[in-house]
Chain A
């Protein structure tokens, strides 16, 4: 029987910088997956880290990675043609089939936009299955905006609101307003009745966004959160990612909000 802890080798097809501390790596892993799922990426000698898939293709997967630790910094050094070790995909993604016909509200903060990009790609590939798409994407500064190229394309098709905590002096081709993503969300008219909202970002931003959505009439069952947790095994055993008895790696990382509620302390 296969050893479930052992990652397999795949080819790096490309690696492109997004911002000063993030990059997107395309890996030649042809695998069925749903948006919101993740893989365990290994760099021998550094360790392993869970990275969400930010694309929707059966030929390859894209991983948007922020350099915040040993593994992610080592991954930044991998070049086209080199080998990366992966296992997965793991977890439960967004229940796209069940959301057919719905308007999609996307709320993302920082690198939390990465798993949502997989969902956006899916919606693009199945455009007729969904209604209106509105996005609320927040970043620290214009320099921290990821998927700039894709954003320009999305802008033509969807309702987009980009916020940055501080504009600073940098020029950006992206039209972003200063403030928090929750401000933009609060000021916009979004209909709760035929919508599903997908949130991913820092805990405080998720909490704030959930509050606003609920005040606009969203029920817990219409809100999907993609959670981040420390994890090692990704198979529901090591227990680090447990939230009130649910495993982020197995039952999540995407949860319908009524399934977990207490994101912070559960």
Chain B
């Protein structure tokens, strides 16, 4: 893929140019690092990955699916948003890829598509794993960006990954210089990010070690909320107190780690034990999604571990799982 050179002192100039054409979303440091609309390019924080994932911008935590008045249904206008996302790591770009598979390929989700189709993804490559919980190198990640920025000490190298990226490179051509350099596959590997050992976990479905993941579990659902790929949701209706015939059907994130997730009429709960629910999450991330989409859902960002109040480390648990006899 084509590579351009961006001098370090020109990064802010590039961001400012972007700001003229897009709403720019970038990692900013506040209480924690979050992807937020950017005002001043100096505020961009690239020292560590964002604590919260990017999914909120496309697969919203709360989405009005439609309004209703009696049995009449009014679908809201879904204007597309021209946004440039800057500073997305390889894990987060792949998380977008996997959610694209679900919401734009498995089904045509008009809400996700409207939020996603005019977004421009500008990645920032990790030269080393930014967190001790990272394990993206153990997963099957691919190039999925419009532009990718590599920090090469003296300069940035910018790789073009799509026609959208090509368009940006052309539009802001005055900022970039030509280079003969290429980004090798070796350079895309992130040192210190391969701590999840390769294993056929289907052999461990009945292993007693899954319990290790649940002895400490508080069923808070932080793991699924912070996961950039988790896409489970529920819907519910809200009515106006002034007229109960009018209201909205809303979609919210939900969590497979909670008992409510499977509760049916008659109060029956499937996967009643935390152990079953924990195992289900890991199997969905590493196995089930792959059966259908040829790639694991998990992108190895480590947020579910870092954000867990009791630091349940499923990577550690899997690495230590041994074949049991009988």
A and B: interacting chains: yes
Q: A48-B235, A237-B109, A240-B232 are in contact. Are A83 and B71 (CB under 8 A)?
A: yes
Contact of B73 among A1, A7, A202 (CB under 8 A): A7
Q: What string of 1s and 0s marks CB contacts (under 8 Å) between B42-76 and chain A?
A: 00000000000000000000000110101101010
Stretch binding the partner chain, chosen from B138-146, B188-196, B268-276? B268-276
Which of A83, A229, A238 is packed against the most chain B CB atoms within 10 Å? Answer: A238
| CB proximity to B under 8 Å, residues A41-71 | 44-48, 66, 68-69
Whether A237 lies near B106 (C-beta < 8 A) is yes
- Chain A binding surface, main DSSP class: loop
Contact of A44 among B71, B108, B254, B289 (CB under 8 A): B71
Q: How far is the CB of A12 from chain B (nearest CB, A)?
A: 11
Contact of B231 among A9, A235, A239, A245 (CB under 8 A): A239
A84 / chain B contacts, CB cutoff of 8 Å: 71
A9 to B73, CA, bound (A): 9
Whether B66 lies near A5 (C-beta < 8 A) is yes
Stretch binding the partner chain, chosen from B23-31, B152-160, B215-223, B244-252? B244-252
| CB proximity to A under 8 Å, residues B262-311 | 262-266, 268, 270-273, 276, 280, 283-284, 287-289, 291-292
Chain B interfacial residues counted at CB < 8 A: 49
Is residue A242 within 8 Å, beta carbon to beta carbon, of the partner chain? yes
Which chain B residue shows the least CB distance to A203? B268
Whether B237 lies near A239 (C-beta < 8 A) is no
A239 / chain B contacts, CB cutoff of 8 Å: 231-232, 256, 284
B280 / chain A contacts, CB cutoff of 8 Å: 242
Is residue A103 within 8 Å, beta carbon to beta carbon, of the partner chain? no
| CB proximity to B under 8 Å, residues A201-253 | 202-203, 228-230, 232-233, 235-240, 242-245
Q: A45-B245, A240-B262 are in contact. Are A5 and B71 (CB under 8 A)?
A: no
Which chain B residue shows the least CB distance to A251? B292
A48 / chain B contacts, CB cutoff of 8 Å: 235, 249
- Chain B interface (Cβ < 8 Å from any Cβ of A): 65-66, 68, 70-71, 73, 75, 102-103, 106-110, 231-237, 239, 244-245, 247, 249, 251, 254, 256, 261-266, 268, 270-273, 276, 280, 283-284, 287-289, 291-292
Can you offer 16 A-B residue contacts whose CB atoms are under 8 A? A3-B66, A3-B110, A5-B65, A6-B73, A9-B71, A44-B70, A48-B235, A48-B249, A68-B265, A230-B263, A233-B233, A237-B106, A237-B107, A238-B235, A238-B254, A245-B289
